[in-house]
Amino acid sequence: MAGFTIGKLSEATDTKVQTIRYYESIGLMAPFTRTEGGHRLYDIDDRKRLTFIRHARELGFSIDAIRELLSLSDNPQTSCERADDIASRQLDEVEQRLKRLRALQKELKRMVTECGHGRVSDCRVIEVLSDHRLCQTSH
């Protein structure tokens, strides 16, 4: 029987073995088969599914969103409207995160710029971190 052991699947998808086992335990990966020697065995479809999951995780999709996207991909004749909705929601979350990161960047730059680089007793960084009211942005 040809296929991938969990180690080979791990290498092929750059996914840790523990992560593959986790995805199996929560039902994102289909139940595996075992060789006569008791090793887990995966096929090319498992590799494709794991690649999909990994890529979705890298893009920040939640496990629930991935579960729904996988369900949609398992039914290719259905409308992609739901997939578009999920991706749009993820895009909104990323844009909000970027907005918060820009505010953090601005505040950190201001703290560093305003620091006199003298003694800690006069350090603007320590002062601002001690009193959030001194921040100019909401973060």
Q: pLDDT (tens digit, 9 = 90+) per residue, 21-59?
A: 999 999 999 877 777 887 888 999 999 999 999 999 999
Q: Could you tell me which residue, 116 or 126, shows the higher pLDDT?
A: 126
How confident is the model at residue 55, as a pLDDT? Answer: 96
Exposed e or buried b for every residue in 85-99, given b needs 16+ CB within 10 A? ebbeebeeeeeeeee
- Give the domain range for residue 103: 82-134
Question: Is 73 a member of any domain?
Answer: no
Query: 20 CB contacts (<8 Å, ≥6 apart)?
Result: 6, 9, 10, 29, 50
The residue among 85, 16, 95, 98 whose CA lies nearest residue 57 is: 16
If asked whether residues 52 and 96 sit together in one domain, one would say no
Please tell me whether residues 56 and 104 are part of one structural domain.
Answer: no
Domain count, the chain: 2
